[in-house]
Each structure stands twice: as structure tokens, then as C-alpha cells.
Amino acid sequence: MKNRNLLVVDFDGVIIDGMNEYWFSARKACLYLIKTNPNSILLENKVPKLFKDIRPWIHHGWEMVLMAAELTREDSDFKEHFFESFASNYEHKCQEGLEAWGWNAQQLQKVLDNIRQENISKNLTYWLKKHIAFPGVVNRLKQLEKEELELVVLTTKGKHFTNQILKYLDIKANVVYGHESGPKEKVLLHLLAENKIHGFIEDRRATLEKVINTPGLHSIPCYLAQWGYIKPKDLQHLPSRIFVLEDKKFQEPLAHWP
């Protein structure tokens, strides 16, 4: 891919709200790992409030499996009355959780991916329907062609699963980069070497901060999707090179964006 005008967009939290699927698959993966019947009431079928609340801190899929497991561990700090402390020390708490269970990130990611593939094989339609596009996003992305822009999806979800959902939503991406492609900064550097990137939309502030601090990526306009899974304080004191993108502004031509 050379000499293209690109808009690079994150997937979960920008294009889709997959909360129901996150819990559905993370719960099954967790119960598999702790050798509990998948129909066990140890973890309810309904998405727990704590799982929803911690979603803005989650970066990789394996962390969702760990959070499901932490809900079952009596001595875990992943409790309502400890939430603020848990969230503020999230990465450390993840490491504590892995050590407590004797697991590693690669193991959890593999189980999660296997569970998702199993769900797809058994009932693809049922699995797909657990993903909901954020209002107006699909139609807006379909307008990019009129602006002579090509869509690139850059996500920490597996490429295979992302492609399945994009097809279901009738979104045509020029190319999709999943977690298999490595860090997002690395992918952006690769793309920027032979193309012009007119914007990168992400709902994770920490990712955008990495991008603006990566040598060679200073020309990329970075946008924080206000409609996504953002933390309560994410919109405060943003670096000058990260712009808040409201859903109303997103619907306008890119030339009108900050």
C-alpha cells in the first residue's frame, strides 16, 4: 500500500460497542480455565457492573478473562468498595492477579481466541449480534470514499474476528491490523512511511499519548473518541496534540475536524 490518503481507526470503543460479547467470551474462557461448568452461576450471564466499569482500563483481550476470574477470587481487590484503588493501580493489579492464578497473558489470550472461534463455529449469527455499532459510525465511515480517504482499522482484537464483524456491519476497510501486528505505534510508522495519515481515532488516551511521543509520528492528527470507553478523567488536561472528537463533529467532513 503506497501513496494513499488514510484515516486510521481503532475498532472496539470507536466503531463497535462489544460489551455483551466481551463478557460472553471472557466468562466462558474464565470458566474453562478454572475448570467450572460453563453454565455455572459462579459468574452470572448478565454483564456485571464492575466489568463494565473497568472496561476503559482494559487494553488487551486477555485482561477481560483475568477480570472475570478476579470476580470469583475472594482475596482479590476487584470489589466495588476497592474499585478506585484497583483502577488506579490497574497494571500492578493485573500482574498480581496473573501470579495468584498462575497464568500468563499469552495463555489467556489463546484461550479467549479459541473460545471466540468456537462461538463463531457453533453459531456465527448469534456471536455477531452481540456486537453493536456506535450510532452513526457505520454511515460515516462509508462517506470516507467521497473525501478520497481509505479506511484502515487498527485494533488489539484478533484480525480474523475483526474482519468477521466488519463484514457483518458492511464496513469495507482497506486493510485491518490486529494484535498480531504488534504495537500500534509500530504499525503507524509502517503506514506513514509510504502514505499520508490524515487522522488516527482511538478511545484509549494512553495509546494516543504513546503515539504523539513516538519519533516519526508527529505529523499524525490524533483524536480521542468521546463516545468510546474512556476513563472519567481522560478528557481533562489533554496534551495539545490530542483532540477530543465528539460524535457530532465526527459526522462532519474531516476537513472540519480540529
With 80 as the cut, is the pLDDT of residue 39 above it?
A: no
With 80 as the cut, is the pLDDT of residue 38 above it?
A: no
Mean pLDDT of 66-82: 93
Domain boundaries, the chain: 5-17+132-256, 19-128
CA 161, distance to chain mean position in Å, is: 12
Per-residue pLDDT tens over the stretch 154-193: 999 999 999 999 999 999 999 999 999 999 999 999 999 9
With 90 as the cut, is the pLDDT of residue 235 above it?
A: yes
The verdict on pTM exceeding 0.85 is yes
In this prediction, residue 40 has a pLDDT band, given cuts at 50, 70 and 90, of low
Per-residue pLDDT tens over the stretch 188-215: 999 999 999 999 999 999 999 999 999 9
| Pick among 3.40.50.740, 2.40.50.140, 3.40.50.1000, 3.40.30.10: CATH of 5-17+132-256 | 3.40.50.1000
pLDDT of residue 36: 75
Nearest to 24 by CA among 110, 100, 108, 129: 129
Residue 220, C-alpha cell as written in the block: 499524525
For residue 21, give every residue at least 6 positions away whose Cβ sits within 8 Å of its Cβ, in sequence order, or none. Answer: 127, 130, 131
